[in-house]
């Protein structure tokens, strides 16, 4: 596995070329692809050339966003399918292999079973469309109870449910985005991660939680940097990720606005070191 600079996940407004420079400078192993940047390059050849340059700087691609909104109204979902081939073309030209999205853990209209059918149906279709481009889809379940309990029908908010959803799609190119924050807030332990293999994991996020809140009071958008408070058992989490033989990107997604106010080199040096610690741990 390798550390990845994902400016969006850090809440930093860095353009793609700056991100690449900073990722290389601060010793990250990878950087997130930027579909809009690829689109602006104007041709497959230019995208491919750009990707070569990134690779030459020792950086691997992290994960792009899934360019289809899984739970949008049918018309919007259809429109995204119309646009999809162009995006896939660019991602394939760049050699990107991972895209991801999160699963909204509640709904005000669709009950658990209706929402399940919606996700199985849409996800199966999109997975089949992406398979030909060599793309894997990562799904992130969202753990905080302060989030999933806010509408009439709670939905997938645990690892077990996410794995069953993936199994039901029958797709071999769909896996998990494992985030220590969701694993912790979902009340899960290292034991729950047993049996996972590299094929089951598309991306890994590590974050810590506030020390002054109980698990069920934690907020999705108010986290801490990994190894900060020690609330989350990152040793147990990363131990299981290592045991799975995971080979993909690891990033931080703390939702801390304060990061954007600090000197960027200071922030990235710190993040990179924390990720190195996680990647090295065994």
**Binding residues for a second copy (CB under 8 A):** 73-75, 77-78, 81-82, 84, 111-114, 116-118, 120-122, 124-125, 128-129, 132, 145, 149, 152-154, 158, 160-161, 164, 167-170, 186-187
C-beta of 99: minimal distance to a second copy in Å?
16
CA-derived radius of gyration, the chain = 18
| Pair of tokens at residue 109 | 């209209």
In this complex, which beta carbon is closest to a second copy, that of residue 12 or of residue 123? 123
Provide, rounded to whole angstroms, the least separation between the CB of residue 178 and a second copy: 18
Tokens 């089949």 locate to: 128
Residue among 220 and 253 whose Cβ is closer to a second copy: 220
**Cβ atoms within 10 Å of 147's Cβ, excluding its own:** 20
Cβ(171)–Cβ(240) below 8 Å: no
**Burial group, residue 191, by CB count within 10 angstroms (0-12, 13-18, 19+):** exposed
Determine the Cα–Cα distance for residues 32 and 158; give it in Å rounded to an integer.
26
Shortest Cβ 132–a second copy spacing (Å): 8
Shortest distance, position 82 Cβ to a second copy, whole Å: 5
240 Cβ neighbours under 8 A, 6+ residues apart: 190, 193, 194, 196
CB of 104 to a second copy, least distance (A): 15
Cβ closest to a second copy, residue 44 vs residue 112:
112
Q: Which is nearer to a second copy, 58 or 187 (CB)?
A: 187
To a second copy, the closest distance from the beta carbon of 209 in angstroms equals 17
Which residue lies nearer to a second copy by CB, 15 or 132?
A: 132
DSSP element (H, E) containing 187: none
∠ CA 40-42-43, nearest 5°, is 140
Beta-bridge mates of residue 251: 205
Q: Which residue, 132 or 266, has its beta carbon nearer to a second copy?
A: 132
């Amino acid at each position: 596995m390798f550390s990845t600079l994902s400016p969006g996940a850090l809440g930093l407004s860095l353009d793609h070329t700056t991100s690449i420079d900073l990722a290389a400078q601060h010793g990250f192993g990878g950087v997130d692809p930027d579909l809009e940047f690829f689109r602006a390059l104007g041709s497959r050849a230019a995208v491919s050339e750009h990707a070569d340059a990134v690779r030459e700087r020792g950086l691997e691609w992290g994960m792009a966003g899934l360019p289809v909104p899984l739970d949008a109204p049918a018309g919007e979902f259809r429109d995204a399918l119309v646009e999809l081939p162009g995006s896939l073309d660019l991602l394939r030209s760049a050699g990107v292999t991972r895209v991801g999205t999160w699963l909204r853990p509640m709904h005000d209209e669709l009950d658990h079973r209706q929402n399940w059918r919606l996700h199985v149906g849409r996800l199966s279709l999109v997975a089949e469309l992406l398979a030909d481009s060599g793309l894997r889809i990562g799904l992130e379940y969202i753990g905080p109870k302060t989030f999933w309990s806010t509408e009439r029908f709670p939905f997938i908010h645990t690892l077990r449910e996410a794995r069953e959803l993936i199994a039901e799609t029958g797709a071999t190119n769909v896996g998990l985005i494992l985030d220590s924050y969701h694993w912790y807030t979902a009340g899960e332990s290292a034991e729950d991660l047993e049996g996972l293999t590299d094929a089951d994991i598309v991306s890994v996020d590590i974050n810590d939680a506030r020390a002054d809140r109980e698990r069920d009071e934690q907020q999705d958008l108010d986290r801490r940097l990994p190894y900060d408070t020690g609330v989350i058992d990152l040793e147990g989490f990363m131990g299981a990720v290592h045991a799975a033989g995971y080979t993909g990107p690891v990033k931080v997604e703390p939702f801390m606005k304060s990061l954007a106010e600090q000197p960027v080199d200071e922030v990235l040096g710190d993040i990179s070191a924390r990720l190195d610690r996680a990647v090295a741990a065994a």
